[in-house]
């Protein structure tokens, strides 16, 4: 369920805002989305794993807060990010 270092580097390179960016809001949202997707797949198989379900809900809340921050700062960047990630359909 954890992300490998190689996968993290791929996500960072796709969503970084500038050359040395490793922790901008865009990158954080992309990382959280990847973790949320993996946890969702895990929970479809393991329906009674309530502790992982709680962790999933915490991740979703954190991503929601970051997305609202991005939306307040720059509406176009927000629209582009959710379009690239395929969320908030």
**Model confidence pLDDT, tens digit, residues 8-49:** 999 999 999 899 998 999 999 999 999 999 999 999 999 999
Residue of higher predicted confidence among 30 and 1: 30
**Residue 89's pLDDT band (cuts 50, 70, 90):** low
Token pair 């969702």 is found at 40
pLDDT value, residue 2: 81
- What pLDDT shows up at residue 7? 94
- Confidence bin at 1 (pLDDT 50/70/90): low
Which pair of tokens denotes residue 86?
């395929």
> 49: Cβ–Cβ under 8 A, 6 or more apart, which residues?
42, 43
């Amino acid at each position: 369920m954890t992300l490998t270092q190689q996968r993290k580097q791929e996500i960072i390179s796709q969503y970084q805002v500038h050359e040395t960016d490793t922790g901008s809001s865009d990158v954080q949202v992309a990382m959280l989305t990847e973790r949320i997707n993996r946890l969702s797949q895990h929970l479809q198989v393991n329906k009674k794993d309530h502790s992982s379900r709680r962790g999933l809900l915490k991740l979703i809340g954190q991503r929601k807060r970051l997305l609202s921050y991005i939306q307040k700062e720059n509406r176009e960047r927000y629209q582009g990010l959710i379009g690239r990630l395929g969320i908030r359909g």
